[in-house]
Structure 1
Amino acid sequence: MIEYEPGKPFPGVIGRTLDESSPAWPRPTRAGESAANVIFFILDDVGYGQMSVFGGLCETPNLERLANRGLRYTNMQTTALCSPTRGCALTGRNHHTLGLSAITELSMGYPAHNGYMGFEHGFLSEILLEQGYNTFAVGKWHLTPPEETTTAGPFHRWPLGRGFERYYGFLGGNTDQWHPDLTYDNHPVPVPATPEEGYHLNIDLADKAIEFIKDAHHNAPDKPFFLYYATGAGHAPRHVEKKWIEKYKGRFDMGWDKYRKTVFKHQKGLGIVPPDALLSERDPDVPAWDSLTDTEKKVYARQMEVFAAFIEQTDYHFGRILDFLEEIGELDNTLVIVLSDNGASAEGGIHGTFNEMLFFNNVEETLEDNLERIEKWGNPETFNHYSWGWTWAGDTPFRRWKRETYRGGISDACIVSWPEGVKARGENRSQYAHAIDLVPTVLEALGMEAPKNIRGVSQSPIQGVSFAHTFDDPGAPTKHITQYFEMFGHRSIYNDGWRAVCPFPGSSFAEPLREGWFFGMPLSSRVLKVLDSKGWELYELAEDPAEIRNLAKEKPEKLQEMIQRWYTEAGKYGVLPLATAALERMNVQRPTIARPRTKYIYYAGGTPVQFSAAPRVYNRPWSITARVVIPEEGAEGVLLAHGNRHGGYSFYVKDGHLHHVHNYSGLEKFRISSPDPIPKGEVTLRYEFEKTDEPDFSKGKGSAGRSQLYINGELVASRNLPYTVPNLFGIIGLSCGYDAADSVHPEEYRAPFTFTGRIRQVELDVSGELIKDEEADLKRMMTEQ
């Protein structure tokens, strides 16, 4: 058989008939013989000192198995946040260069912040696809601008648009592990089973990863694959079956102080930290364990038990993928890289929270609310996150955590395993490396070069450097000499063993309050000038890996050199302007595919609208108008719903009556119901929210207002709402004619609770146009409840 390069002249013979001709075929794209498979296993919010493979107390036997067959990289850095690190790991470019200064939901109209990863920054999946690989993505994505995550597209920044041939997972930053928001390839799909039927997302993701590999292997067993496997673990919610939780009962009763000492000892034993290293000091935001009450200890210990169970369960299901690869004879020739995207997360606050949406709405987490739900921690009734005492402990031996650029936020566990390509077994590597180094490392290991063009688009330079030269040479020098960091105005820089850090708003939450500064405050030019004059710290990592001894006053010249170097790197990689974690970033007006509108029309049965694209009804007057047909035998079900049991609203019919419920972050449910049944036939059903007061964001309370129900234009019920959800219902979107995935009001109905009548259309109006007339005002006073 004659094959030729596509685009080249046809080398066969074309005669007048077949007997005068000879064939030739365009050559299919094939990978090299015995080309290695590649797996990226990206963990979420898992601290340096949490997994047993790095000395932690969360058991990870399958990751230990990989490390024993490969290498631990003990000096790997990330960006301190999820989307930015994932972008770095898949492209080899710095996160500001990609437009990923933060998570995609916080995009702003500047190149460093817009969330639009240009196609000049090719993904590893795009590179390997052109080299004859199958490419699969499973799990968390969080790399598409929110305004492009709807079923209206465009889809070119979804996984299938960035070089992956198959995808199964969730597009956003997190999801309910029991009731996930699932996307299959380019379309949303319902959850295939319920928790009662044994469903859990980690099981589902492992099943799909195995299925994708198996499908390809059946048809082309010699064809290599790239699997990007990104679980939601250990991001909140930490959902896991009870059998895993019970295994850890009592294991964390010693508290976070003793946990750190125990883990630090383990880390020294594993050679992860130098034998003469010191443990970082107590964080001023974390109380001493011995100062807590018995009730506090009980609640906090349970939180960590559930987290550890979630991590081990995740490890177990990833182990199923490894077992399958071993079964088909592919494990030894698979280059596996394991990395967490940032340090442990402090988003649970000092007490932890049964519902992480409280954090995003600035609602105070209380010990009492957590205690009330302590036995339910990790089950479907919670969206749980542990106390930041465990965050601090989870980043042992370093200080601080996710979102900050101290080493607790940016130094992460990394494992590389490739038995056929790496001779070393069970060794540590201490060379400095960063997430941007993964792509050039893989390319060098596979004997490939970064392409100059991908699908006709000229490619930007890869900014990372390979560490493949360290695979079998523990003494090889690092090639990564300088690396800047910036997250929400918190800055640092590494250069040849030195680190300078400028914490913002301060080195803790408590410390800057004396100046009136706080996390999420704006960073003005005046504040930046103050920070640059006296806010920087200096550390020499060879002597002080945990950043304990600040040398800024002892070595002012070195500090000034490092500050200037940060600004040089910021200019090179497009970091400016600096932007903080101000809540207002969530609500920035962004360009949308659809033209700006205030009225949204929905029809029954469509796929859910992504939560990031659902109309924002917070702190404003708004209404729902449903035009329906009620058959003679009656009807029930959801007309329109947004959110789930952890926050949202639902407009529904039950027992013949019209209802609306506003679920305030899982804490309270404000329901209003029609006193009389809905008539049969063509009916117009309407809900209005009339704003009566301004929100108090500092207390996590959205605008007070009045809920009102109308049937055929007549006011039938009214109720005052003392406050509402101020900013975010949750991570489940909006659905018409049913409640997607999980119920907003599980005590009232079970999802999907599909409407059994006929919905002609449902209109959601945020223009502020409400029904106003004197008769309605008078009737309202008569119907208050």
Structure 2
Amino acid sequence: MGLIPQGTTLAPRNPGVLPWNELPENGRIFAARLQEAFAGFLEHTDAQIGRLVAFLEAQNLLDDTLLIVLSDNGASQEGGPRGVMDEFSTFNLIREDLDDIVANRLDDIGTSRAHSNIPWGWAQAGNTPLKWYKQNTYGGGVRDPLIIHWPKRIKETGIRHQFCHVTDVTPTVLDVTGISVPETFNGHPQIPLHGTSLAGAWDNVDSPTPRGPQYFEQFGHRGIWKDGWKAVTYHRKGDDFDTEDWALYHLDEDFSEGHDLAAEQPEKLKELVEAWWAEAEAHDVLPLDDRTIELFGGAARPGTPHDRHEYVYYHPISHVPADAAPRLGGRAWTIAADVTVPEGGCEGVLYARGSHNGGHTFFVQDGKVQFDYNALGEHFRAAGAAELSPGRHVIETRFTRDGQAGRLTVAVDGNEVGSTEITKIVRMLSSTGVDIGADRLSPVVDDYDGPFAFTGEIHKVTFTILSPQERQDIETLARTELAKE
């Protein structure tokens, strides 16, 4: 197709990627199934895009519809060297049991019971011929496909090789639709768009790249493109940003960043490094921060939804996104539901967060008050029979920490009815948010089918945080586990 220039050098194997025949048998079985699921996901995605295209064509709208398809980054490295059954095991620094997965959970891959990710080897293959992965600023992390389809406007079809960045997409759409960007909104000055329209390349395949320098930065990895050249770093956590080495590539002649010219052209490298610092200053990149997992446990900024110790939700309420939901993680907490029980009793979910892969659910079923703490598929359940007579009641659950373990209780009107010990604390819950009065997304447990709405009346649900986020604990664990890799 001409997407990759003839003569492109194949990048060397990334560190830590074993050849296929050196993987243990269980490792190959697991890796193959993960990639099969990923391939199936891509086929499914392609089919759904096809449905949209077929509809537009049937409605005689396809020729005058602007379609833009792009990826968000290179293939992911979060699966680690083996791949993972549940990506949140990585974020919680929990090592999965490969033998158990192959023996008992292999068929869960590709279903709602897995939140899996491919191993480094498949990610490297997906990024071929480029090096490194998502999170890195080398080509394997930042080069992505971009497809633009608009037959009525784009007369000369084919491949374009001009450099472009994701920030160019919005300026392009605004340019071709004739929409101007307001300088103020409701009296507030707006940040100017940083990108450049790509429309010039639609009409002239050989038109020069219209934009200036483009910087990259992620977890301390840095890079900059300028006039067909690229300077880039691979940052190792804790290294001095001012003294670490930069590589230099002439991308117009070296698509895969295979020939480092830093030693041969020090002045060109100096020019690009200085340009990076200038762009970083201009676009609020500084100060640099190379924390990774620790950022998830950072202290809440003043004024954010997390800058508090109590959250009160009144029912009915829609799904609360994860970024606004209470941070329970490694903390101690109580959840109290103020409810009215109707004649004949009630059942249903009071609070839920997560999915089969991990989370919480607080519910009433078969005359029992129950709280299930789903620690990445391992369930801890506090439950007890409760006399929920018609009328007003407070149904409460409490979690207390004891080092790396904890105790979970459930109570009705102050009387404890059930408890359990928790030996596996999940500090980073599911990326899904909170539901009050139902479990609207993928159910956390098999006991019920979602949404299993509460059949009584919920007046309010109060979350009280009893201890601060275990930030130091998270940082210590992160350093320990990352050192093992």
TM-score normalised per structure 1:
0.56
Match runs of 1:583-594 below 5 Å: 583-586=293-296, 587-592=298-303
Matched with 2:464 is 765
Residue 455 of structure 2 is aligned to residue 756 of structure 1: yes
Q: Structure 1: how far apart are the matches of 2:437 and 2:175?
A: 52
Match runs of 1:551-590 below 5 Å: 551-586=261-296, 587-590=298-301
Residue 720 of structure 1: SS of its match in structure 2? strand
Q: Structure 2: how far apart are the matches of 1:444 and 1:343?
A: 28
Residue 539 of structure 1: SS of its match in structure 2? strand
Alignment counterpart, residue 384 of structure 1, candidates 116, 122, 127: 116
Q: Which amino acid aligns with 2:243?
A: S
Match runs of 1:199-238 below 5 Å: none
Q: Judging changes above 3 Å, is the alpha-carbon distance between structure 1 residues 463 and 679 closer, same or farther for their aligned structure 2 residues?
A: closer
Residue 85 of structure 2: SS of its match in structure 1? coil
Matched with 1:73 is none
Matched with 1:535 is 245
Q: Which amino acid aligns with 1:653?
A: V
Q: Which amino acid aligns with 1:765?
A: T
Q: Judging changes above 3 Å, is the alpha-carbon distance between structure 1 residues 332 and 557 closer, same or farther for their aligned structure 2 residues?
A: same
Alignment counterpart, residue 678 of structure 1, candidates 387, 401, 408: 387
Q: Judging changes above 3 Å, is the alpha-carbon distance between structure 1 residues 596 and 283 closer, same or farther for their aligned structure 2 residues?
A: closer
Alignment counterpart, residue 401 of structure 1, candidates 133, 151, 159: 133
- How much does 1:446 deviate? 4.3
Q: Judging changes above 3 Å, is the alpha-carbon distance between structure 1 residues 717 and 500 closer, same or farther for their aligned structure 2 residues?
A: same
The structure with the largest alpha-carbon Rg is: 1
Q: Which digits, 9 at most, give the CA deviation of each residue in 1:577-600, with x for residues without a partner?
A: 112243342333124477954233
Say whether the 8 Å CA contact 1:642–1:649 is kept in structure 2: yes
Residue 461 of structure 2 is aligned to residue 740 of structure 1: no
Residue 243 of structure 2: SS of its match in structure 1? helix
Residue 564 of structure 1: SS of its match in structure 2? helix
Residue 158 of structure 2 is aligned to residue 419 of structure 1: no
Matched with 1:658 is 369
Q: Which amino acid aligns with 1:577?
A: P
- How much does 1:711 deviate? 3.2
Q: Which amino acid aligns with 1:382?
A: A
- How much does 1:293 deviate? 3.1
Q: Which has the higher contact order (CA 8 A, sep 6+)?
A: 1
Q: Which digits, 9 at most, give the CA deviation of each residue in 1:118-169, with x for residues without a partner?
A: xxxxxxxxxxxxxxxxxxxxxxxxxxxxxxxxxxxxxxxxxxxxxxxxxxxx
Alignment counterpart, residue 16 of structure 2, candidates 269, 285, 291: 285
Say whether the 8 Å CA contact 1:603–1:737 is kept in structure 2: no
Residue 147 of structure 2 is aligned to residue 437 of structure 1: no
Q: Structure 1: how far apart are the matches of 2:120 and 2:270?
A: 33
- How much does 1:546 deviate? 0.9
Matched with 1:635 is 346
Q: Structure 1: how far apart are the matches of 2:465 and 2:308?
A: 9
Matched with 2:473 is none
Residue 198 of structure 2 is aligned to residue 467 of structure 1: yes
Matched with 1:242 is none
Q: Judging changes above 3 Å, is the alpha-carbon distance between structure 1 residues 643 and 337 closer, same or farther for their aligned structure 2 residues?
A: closer
Matched with 1:331 is 62
Q: Judging changes above 3 Å, is the alpha-carbon distance between structure 1 residues 767 and 556 closer, same or farther for their aligned structure 2 residues?
A: same
Unaligned regions of 5+ residues in structure 1, if any?
Answer: 1-269, 506-516, 518-522, 694-702, 770-785
Q: Structure 2: how far apart are the matches of 1:450 and 1:732?
A: 33
Say whether the 8 Å CA contact 2:300–2:306 is kept in structure 1: no
The count of aligned residue pairs is 465
Residue 242 of structure 2: SS of its match in structure 1? helix
- How much does 1:490 deviate? 0.6
Say whether the 8 Å CA contact 1:662–1:724 is kept in structure 2: no
Alignment counterpart, residue 107 of structure 2, candidates 353, 357, 375: 375
- How much does 1:632 deviate? 5.5
Say whether the 8 Å CA contact 1:347–1:359 is kept in structure 2: yes
Q: Which amino acid aligns with 1:392?
A: Q
- How much does 1:493 deviate? 1.2
Residue 417 of structure 2 is aligned to residue 716 of structure 1: yes
Matched with 2:430 is 730
Say whether the 8 Å CA contact 2:322–2:434 is kept in structure 1: yes
Say whether the 8 Å CA contact 1:279–1:398 is kept in structure 2: yes
Residue 326 of structure 2 is aligned to residue 626 of structure 1: no
- How much does 1:604 deviate? 4.1
Unaligned regions of 5+ residues in structure 2, if any?
Answer: 469-485
- How much does 1:557 deviate? 2.8
Say whether the 8 Å CA contact 2:301–2:307 is kept in structure 1: no
Q: Which digits, 9 at most, give the CA deviation of each residue in 1:179-228, with x for residues without a partner?
A: xxxxxxxxxxxxxxxxxxxxxxxxxxxxxxxxxxxxxxxxxxxxxxxxxx
Say whether the 8 Å CA contact 2:3–2:159 is kept in structure 1: yes
Q: Structure 2: how far apart are the matches of 1:465 and 1:768?
A: 48
Q: Which digits, 9 at most, give the CA deviation of each residue in 1:379-405, with x for residues without a partner?
A: 122222222221111111111111110
Residue 145 of structure 2: SS of its match in structure 1? strand
Q: Judging changes above 3 Å, is the alpha-carbon distance between structure 1 residues 560 and 692 closer, same or farther for their aligned structure 2 residues?
A: same
Q: Judging changes above 3 Å, is the alpha-carbon distance between structure 1 residues 463 and 719 closer, same or farther for their aligned structure 2 residues?
A: closer
Residue 307 of structure 2 is aligned to residue 607 of structure 1: no
Say whether the 8 Å CA contact 1:692–1:705 is kept in structure 2: yes
Say whether the 8 Å CA contact 2:351–2:436 is kept in structure 1: yes
Q: Percent identity?
A: 38
- How much does 1:465 deviate? 2.6
Say whether the 8 Å CA contact 2:37–2:109 is kept in structure 1: yes
- How much does 1:343 deviate? 1.2
Q: Which digits, 9 at most, give the CA deviation of each residue in 1:275-310, with x for residues without a partner?
A: 111111111121111212333222212211221221
Q: Which digits, 9 at most, give the CA deviation of each residue in 1:612-650, with x for residues without a partner?
A: 222122222211233444456333222222222221122
Q: Which amino acid aligns with 1:304?
A: Q
- How much does 1:459 deviate? 5.0
